[in-house]
Amino acid sequence: MPSVIALDAMGSDRAPKPEIEGAIQAARQYGVRVLLVGPESLVKAELQRHLAAARLPIEVVHASEYITMEDKVEAIRAKRDNSMRVGLRLVREGQANGFVTAGNTGAAMATAKIVLGAVPGLDRPALAAVFPTAPGNPATTYSLPSTVIGVTGVERSRPDLRPGTVNTMAGPVGMPSFCTAIMNLFIGLR
């Protein structure tokens, strides 16, 4: 049985066009079933512009509202039928294996914690990003809360990293510090 991915069809600034194009590509290349979550009339109108989508395992799940990039995190409580919440409910109820959004990061993280809850022992969710590489194998990086260190086993090879503590693994804030943190994490896992 193929994996089922709930995709926030209204996440990006140009939604739903790029999300639908991504859903078509994922269904073709990886054989996944995609549930496009958003206002049904908007999503279906764009979906009909892509003739190839009719033969692929792509469905629309209605959500009457969506969170914009300009919305404050508080909008997740005001817009109770938003595409993020509906997509994450599909995961919670076992109708989808995962949820993807290109939308408001703060709203996505807060909604995920509200709908799915937290992993025992972790206070905050983690972010993952997939990047292409020269050899063609994608690389996944993670922005992890410090408490994840205790779960990964890093503390076995790096006694200076203790579970439940804030461990500074990088220099100045920004992409270089993020890369340094990821490299330190992988060095510790070897």
pLDDT in tens, 86-137: 999 999 999 998 888 888 988 998 998 899 888 777 776 777 777 777 887 7
pLDDT for the residue numbered 147? 39
SS3 of 88-150:
HHHHHCCCCCEEECCCCHHHHHHHHHHHHCCCCCCCCCCEEEEECCCCCCCEEEEECCHHHHH
Q: Which of 49-53, 138-142, 184-188 has the lowest mean pLDDT?
A: 184-188
Q: Is the pLDDT of residue 55 over 50?
A: yes
Sequence letter at residue 183: M
**pLDDT confidence of residue 88:** 95
Rounded alpha-carbon distances, angstroms, from residue 138 to 110, 129, 135, 154: 27, 10, 9, 23
Q: Mapping DSSP to helix (H, G, I), strand (E, B) and coil, where does residue 67 land? A: coil
Cα–Cα separations (whole angstroms), residue 89 to 24, 85, 86, 99, 161: 22, 6, 5, 9, 35
Residue 174 has what DSSP assignment? S
Task: Assign 3-state DSSP to the chain and report helix, strand, coil percentages, each to 5.
Answer: 40, 15, 40
Going by pLDDT thresholds of 50, 70 and 90, the confidence category of residue 155 is: very low
Q: Which of these CATH numbers, 3.30.70.100, 3.30.70.600, 1.10.3720.10, 3.40.718.10, describes 4-116?
A: 3.40.718.10
Tell me the CA end-to-end span of the chain in Å, nearest whole number: 34
Which residue, chain included where needed, has tokens 């220099």?
Answer: 171
Range(s) within the chain of domains with CATH label 3.40.718.10: 4-116
- For residue 51, pLDDT over 90 is answered with yes
Q: For tokens 């049904």, name the residue.
A: 40
